[in-house]
Amino acid sequence: MLKEKLSRLPTWQRNLFILWFGVFMTGIGFSEVMPFLSLYVDTLGDFTKSQLTFYSGLTFSITFLMTAIISPFWGKLADSRGRKLMLIRASLGMAIVFFLMGAVQNVWQLIFLRAMQGLFGGFISNSNAMIATQTPKEQSGYALGTLVTGVTGGQLLGPFIGGVLASLVSYRLAFIITGIIFLLVFLLVATLVKEEFTPVPKGESLSRKEVFAQLSYPKLTIGLFTTTFIIQIVNQSISPIISLFVRELNNGAGSTTLWAGLVAAMPGIATMLAAPRFGQLGDRIGTHRIMLMGFSLAFIFMLPTGFVTAVWQLAILRFMIGISDATMLPAVQTLLTKTTPTQVTSRIFAYNQSFQSLGSVAGPIMGTFVAMFFDYSGIFIASALLIVVNACLFFYRTKSLKGDKNLNL
């Protein structure tokens, strides 16, 4: 029944429907372990507090670090061998890794598998590249905005879903259930995603220098990578302390885990609701104006978050931060699409994925150090200042391109 309904849709819409589910589950898979990863590590040995902190931090960050390193390689392979093949590889690889993570016997096995999870990455960047190259230009903002709802929604809802799974079943079974879902993603991609692709002959794949030589606006592309990096730092800076901040606001009363999961879910819910609409709006009024709106909203709502006195205030402001993400993230993807030749799209989206993963490593580190010296509220003030820096860098990179009608800035 599903296959019949999908067959009536244009190829880009059919693929968008399937890949939205795929990137949503990938986002969940990368973030769902946040509420219980350190607790799972604690079950794998008899550690001191400092050892547990070290192993938990290493286990968390190594996935994103490996993704940052390997993404350009997978992007190069995708441009020469096809994006569908990379999607199949990534989804099947993550399914196997999650099954195995539910069966580890010591912390080093878990760290190794978390590294393998990063190495098998590339699902999100190749999904973006496939949709970007298949979608009509006039629909690109809407399509990429929709896809971003899956990525961001999965990443930000993941901690809440993971916490619920771990509380209902067990840490190990939570990994196995996620592995089963990735196996479903693999089957859907293998059977339903369509791609017409002519492989590049061996030896004719472009070098990194040649890829950037293909770009009409290489400085803008690098600027967009930087924008993605800083957005992710801001998004992830709260990750290490969200439960502690919620507990402090509640004065130790109520269910910290439940409230922390709810607060963590707020940006994801907002982004899922708003991103497609802002994508369509950007197609009409220009991506540059959407970015201006996003930076303004992010600063307006991030700064007062440092002065909240109740959990409900924190939840509302985090929801509004999700609205700002819904403007900026699709806009970055849309600009990359408009300024990148089709033959190197996967490579450029893979580089962007690397910068996003590096932001996921740098964000929690920044949040931890700022909290040590300026308490929890300092994280939000520092993030607000980073948003201003990001806005200035973006508008400096794009001011000379506003008159280019082909870009629809």
Residue 4 has pLDDT above 70, yes or no: no
Rounded mean pLDDT of 360-376? 79
Residue 339 has pLDDT above 70, yes or no: yes
DSSP letter at 402 equals T
Side-chain-side CA neighbours of residue 387 (13 Å): 26
Q: Does residue 287 contact residue 334 with C-beta atoms inside 8 Å?
A: yes
**Tokens linked to 262:** 């709810």
- The more confident residue out of 374 and 200 is 374
Q: Confidence class of residue 262 from pLDDT cuts 50, 70 and 90?
A: confident
What's residue 292's pLDDT?
Answer: 82
What is the rounded distance in angstroms from the CA atom of residue 96 to the CA atom of residue 193?
A: 21
Amino acid at 380: F
> pLDDT tens digits for 178-236?
888 889 889 988 888 887 766 666 555 666 677 777 777 778 888 888 888 888 888 87
What's residue 241's pLDDT?
Answer: 66
Q: What is the mean pLDDT of the chain?
A: 79
- The more confident residue out of 114 and 158 is 114
Q: Does residue 21 contact residue 150 with C-beta atoms inside 8 Å?
A: yes
**Tokens linked to 104:** 């580890």
Q: Does residue 122 contact residue 70 with C-beta atoms inside 8 Å?
A: yes
User: Sign of dihedral through CA atoms 21, 23, 26, 32?
Assistant: negative
Q: Confidence class of residue 240 from pLDDT cuts 50, 70 and 90?
A: low
Residue 153 has pLDDT above 70, yes or no: yes
Rounded mean pLDDT of 237-258? 70
What is the rounded distance in angstroms from the CA atom of residue 250 to the CA atom of residue 253?
A: 5
Task: Find out if CATH 1.20.1250.20 is the number for domain 2-192+209-401.
Answer: yes
What's residue 32's pLDDT?
Answer: 77
Rounded mean pLDDT of 250-258? 66
**Tokens linked to 74:** 């997978």
Q: Confidence class of residue 403 from pLDDT cuts 50, 70 and 90?
A: low
Rounded mean pLDDT of 174-179? 86
Centre a 10 Å sphere on the Cβ of residue 285 and count the other Cβ atoms it contains: 12
What's residue 408's pLDDT?
Answer: 53
Amino acid at 311: V
**Tokens linked to 378:** 């300092």
What is the rounded distance in angstroms from the CA atom of residue 202 to the CA atom of residue 85?
A: 16
**Tokens linked to 389:** 């820096």
**Tokens linked to 219:** 């400085």
> pLDDT tens digits for 27-78?
787 777 766 777 788 888 887 766 776 777 778 778 888 888 887 787 777 7
| Helix spans in 169-241 (H) | 171-192, 208-213, 218-236
- The more confident residue out of 93 and 223 is 93
Residue 350 has pLDDT above 80, yes or no: no
Rounded mean pLDDT of 362-367? 81
What is the rounded distance in angstroms from the CA atom of residue 250 to the CA atom of residue 86?
A: 45
Residue 277 has pLDDT above 60, yes or no: yes
Residue 172 has pLDDT above 90, yes or no: no
**Tokens linked to 100:** 């195995």
Dihedral, CA of residue 162, residue 190, residue 66 and residue 130, to nearest 10: -110
Q: Confidence class of residue 108 from pLDDT cuts 50, 70 and 90?
A: very high
- Tell me what percent of the residues of the chain surpass a pLDDT of 70: 86
**Tokens linked to 94:** 């993550």
DSSP letter at 106 equals S
**Tokens linked to 251:** 């004065």
Q: Confidence class of residue 151 from pLDDT cuts 50, 70 and 90?
A: confident
What is the rounded distance in angstroms from the CA atom of residue 161 to the CA atom of residue 153?
A: 11
